[in-house]
């Protein structure tokens, strides 16, 4: 059974705004598709977030597998309510920060519905949505959006952009499992390994499931495609200081603020980092279906 739901959310431009001025963010509803499995409530649930191109067939394949395994799935459409179809070539139209608020708003909404067990809600996402599901484990963000202490029970990012480096290193105790291809040139796996080198010594329960020879969107059935206008990661990271201010070293020795739209646009005009590939990987796709299901079943204690 599926139903459309509306959930109150907001649109802060950057993580900076979540951390320092969330009260000024525009408020509005977002649309979700809620899928309910057979069985009796309360159900475990997976909050799922799409990537820069919106929802695709390969996302729906995962959703169907999780549903058949006994988990509810809430697919958020972070683009529809903001009247956007894609952010491949313009990542400022719907940002990681906006989608992060959507994810936590969905968790709060699920916790208020007796059909769901608030202690058994995971978050997953692909690419841009994967970035959301990864950094949703950063406690300062969670505290800003849900000071009640409600948290996701597991994090499952697919090929996220793992380029954000907070000064404050406080992370969820929930397990994080990343799935990523070794030749991804949109969100390179190097950022994941570097990120893990920082957080694992702190006791964060994080692992990466590496898919050898796989591009971005490896769990799809897409033929090799070049996206000439896609905004990509290169070697740059974004830092967030203890006060919530964001910055990036756009050139050696040149650090720019990244809090506001005009600041991010200026940094992009200097970097001009565009162009990448996407391609399905049959073995990686099959493995992702099994790995993701088993991780979620285990983390959410679904029999």
Q: How does pLDDT run across 39-72, given as a tens digit for each residue?
A: 999 999 999 999 999 999 999 999 999 999 999 9
Is pLDDT at 271 greater than 80 in this prediction? no
The residue-averaged pLDDT of 179-183 equals 98
Is pLDDT at 253 greater than 90 in this prediction? no
pLDDT band at 99 (very low <50, low <70, confident <90, very high): very high
Mean pLDDT, all residues of the chain = 96
Give the pLDDT score at 161: 97
Q: How does pLDDT run across 112-157, given as a tens digit for each residue?
A: 999 999 999 999 999 999 999 999 999 999 999 999 999 999 999 9
- DSSP assignment of 255-303: EEE-SSHHHHHHHHHHH--EEEEE---HHHHHHHHHHHHHHHHHHTT--
Pairing of strands 246-251, 238-240: antiparallel
- From edge to edge, which strands make up the β-sheet containing 238-240? 164-166, 238-240, 246-251, 254-257
The residue-averaged pLDDT of 96-101 equals 97
Give the pLDDT score at 219: 98
* SS3 state at 36: coil
The residue-averaged pLDDT of 166-174 equals 98
Is pLDDT at 232 greater than 80 in this prediction? yes
The residue-averaged pLDDT of 224-251 equals 93
Query: Degrees (nearest 5) of the Cα angle 292, 293, 297?
Result: 120
The residue-averaged pLDDT of 201-206 equals 98
Residue 24's nearest CA partner among 34, 16, 32 is 16
The residue-averaged pLDDT of 253-273 equals 86
User: How many whole angstroms separate alpha carbon 180 and alpha carbon 298?
Assistant: 20
What percent of the chain lies above the pLDDT cut of 90? 89
User: How many whole angstroms separate alpha carbon 123 and alpha carbon 155?
Assistant: 5
Is pLDDT at 164 greater than 90 in this prediction? yes
Is pLDDT at 272 greater than 80 in this prediction? no
Give the pLDDT score at 192: 98
Find the helix or strand (DSSP H, E) in which 9 lies: strand 2-10
């Amino acid at each position: 059974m599926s139903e459309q739901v509306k959930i109150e959310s907001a649109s802060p431009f950057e993580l900076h705004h979540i951390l320092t001025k969330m009260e000024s963010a525009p408020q509005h509803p977002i649309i979700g598709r809620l899928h309910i499995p057979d069985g009796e409530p309360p159900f475990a649930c997976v909050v799922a977030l799409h990537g820069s191109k919106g929802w695709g067939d390969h996302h729906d394949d995962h959703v169907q597998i999780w549903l058949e395994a006994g988990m509810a799935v809430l697919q958020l459409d972070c683009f529809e309510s903001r009247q956007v179809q894609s952010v491949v070539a313009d990542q400022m139209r719907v940002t990681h920060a906006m989608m992060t608020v959507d994810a936590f708003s969905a968790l709060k909404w699920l916790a208020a519905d007796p059909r769901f067990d608030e202690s058994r809600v995971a978050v997953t996402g692909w690419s841009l949505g994967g970035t959301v599901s990864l950094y949703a484990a950063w406690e300062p963000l969670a505290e800003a959006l849900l000071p009640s202490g409600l948290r996701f029970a597991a994090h499952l990012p697919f090929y996220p952009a793992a380029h954000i480096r907070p000064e404050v290193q406080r992370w969820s105790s929930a397990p994080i499992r990343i799935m990523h291809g070794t030749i991804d040139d949109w969100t390179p796996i190097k950022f994941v390994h570097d990120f893990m080198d920082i957080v694992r010594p702190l006791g964060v329960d994080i692992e990466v499931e590496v898919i050898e020879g796989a591009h971005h969107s490896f769990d799809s059935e897409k033929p090799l495609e070049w996206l000439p206008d896609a905004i990509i990661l290169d070697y740059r990271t974004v830092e967030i200081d203890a006060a919530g201010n964001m910055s990036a070293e756009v050139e050696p020795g040149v650090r720019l603020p990244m809090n506001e739209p005009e600041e991010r646009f200026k940094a992009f005009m200097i970097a001009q980092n565009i162009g990448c590939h996407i391609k399905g990987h049959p073995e990686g796709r099959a493995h992702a279906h099994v790995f993701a299901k088993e991780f979620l079943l285990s983390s959410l204690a679904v029999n």
